[in-house]
Amino acid sequence: MGMKTLERLKGLPLVVVGVGLLALPSFVDNYILYVMTRLFVYVLVALGLNLLTGYTGQVSLGHAAFFAIGAYTAAVLAESWRWPSVLCVVAAAVFTAVVGYLLGLPCLRLSGLYLAMATLGFTLIVQEMLLQLAVITHGSEGMKVRPASILGFTFDSDYRKYFLLLVVTTSMLIVARNLIRGRTGRAFLAIRENERAAEAMGVNLAQYKTIAFAISALYTGLAGALSAFLVGFLDPQEFSVFLSIQFITIIILGGLGSLLGSVLGAGFLIILPELLAGLDVWQALVYGLLMVLTIIFMPYGLSGAIRRHAYRWLGVGVEPIVPRRLGH
């Protein structure tokens, strides 16, 4: 009946968005393409962070550090070692994943706010290392990175960068969805929901928490590496605790434990300031106010609100339950 038709129409918004994103470059100027490309980078990070924090329930303020590690690894390999771009990006993502795994090991003993503190410390350490290891990172001078190229095809225009990021981000979104729907995703959720019960069902907590750290770091390192090539310059000041807080803000506003939330949250944080640019001095104020209102009226983020209303008014999906909040 009506409900079944609605369920079947669930794929429709996806198709519309997909066509829209493919057609977008024909209609807008370079600046908007640049903003969109930045948005894709943030979506990648938000997907990674949500896998760890939203799905597995492990809070992290260390993602600016993962982002920096990905960016600097790619930059150093490309500029100092002259590696091909693809290898730089892949190596940076894998290396960041290894670092994430290693950070996950001592973090097994922590949860909630304590875990947040420890990962925050990690961000401070990595940023200081970027400044101190000047032999490799060029310290406070920063690093220049030339555009990426694959087999002679150089991603030097906003147009080309846009499509590169569109393809990578979409693929990684699908990968995240596959993981979430399978055995690994259920283990993550089970850990978030109830560690004791998860253990009693044969889920190795240490193994899956560290895997969550590694996958999350992989996404963030990948985003960092791509961002290095897109922006063309690395400034160590960028990778501060504030960036980590921005990442967390994205997934909380968008919706914890929701892939759609990662996308919407990144959209909120990246696109909204652009829309408010005309407000001049009032911009920060209005932006902050919107953030406060959003979290008050949509405590489970934009995706949580959408899910709630879809169930209530259209009968789509299932009755949502109040998920646990961060740092419970």
Partner 1 sequence: MIDLSVHQLALNFGGVRAVDGVTFSLHEGEIHGLIGPNGAGKTTTFNCVTGFYRPTGGTIRFREREITHLRPDQIARLGIARTFQNVQLFRSMSALDNILVAKHSQMRTGILAEALALRLVRRQERMARGEAEELMEFLGLMGIQRQTAGNLPLGSQKRLELGRALALEPKLLLLDEPASGLNTSETQVLAQLLLKIRDRFKLTVLLVEHDMGLMMNISDTITVLNFGRKIAEGTPRDVQNDPEVVKAYLGENSGAERR
When asked if residue 98 is in the footprint of partner 1 (CB under 8 A), the reply is no
Can you name the residues that pair with 143 across neighbouring β-strands? 234
Residue position matching structure tokens 């990778």 = 239
How wide is the angle at C-alpha 205 spanned by C-alphas 199 and 210, nearest 5°? 165
When asked if residue 325 is in the footprint of partner 1 (CB under 8 A), the reply is no
When asked if residue 82 is in the footprint of partner 1 (CB under 8 A), the reply is no
Which residues make Cβ contacts (< 8 Å) with residue 238, sequence separation at least 6?
A: 68
**Contact flags string 213-242 toward partner 1, x per CB under 8 A:** --x---------------------------
DSSP string, 110-124: --HHHHHHHHHHHHH
Residues of this chain, 239-278, that bind partner 1 according to CB under 8 A? 257
CA torsion angle 311 192 244 322 (round to 10): 30
Strands 233-234, 143-144: pairing is antiparallel
Cβ of residue 240: shortest distance to partner 1, in angstroms? 31
Number of residues that bind partner 1 (CB under 8 A): 33
When asked if residue 203 is in the footprint of partner 1 (CB under 8 A), the reply is yes
What the block records as the tokens of 92 is 């940076």
Decide whether 98 or 291 has the Cβ nearer to partner 1: 98
Residues of this chain, 154-193, that bind partner 1 according to CB under 8 A? 175, 178-179, 181-184, 186-187, 189-190, 193
When asked if residue 7 is in the footprint of partner 1 (CB under 8 A), the reply is no
When asked if residue 286 is in the footprint of partner 1 (CB under 8 A), the reply is no
CA torsion angle 149 154 160 163 (round to 10): -20
Residue 244 near residue 49 (C-beta atoms within 8 A): no
When asked if residue 94 is in the footprint of partner 1 (CB under 8 A), the reply is no
Binding site for partner 1 (CB under 8 A): 175, 178-179, 181-184, 186-187, 189-190, 193-194, 196-205, 211, 215, 257, 318-324
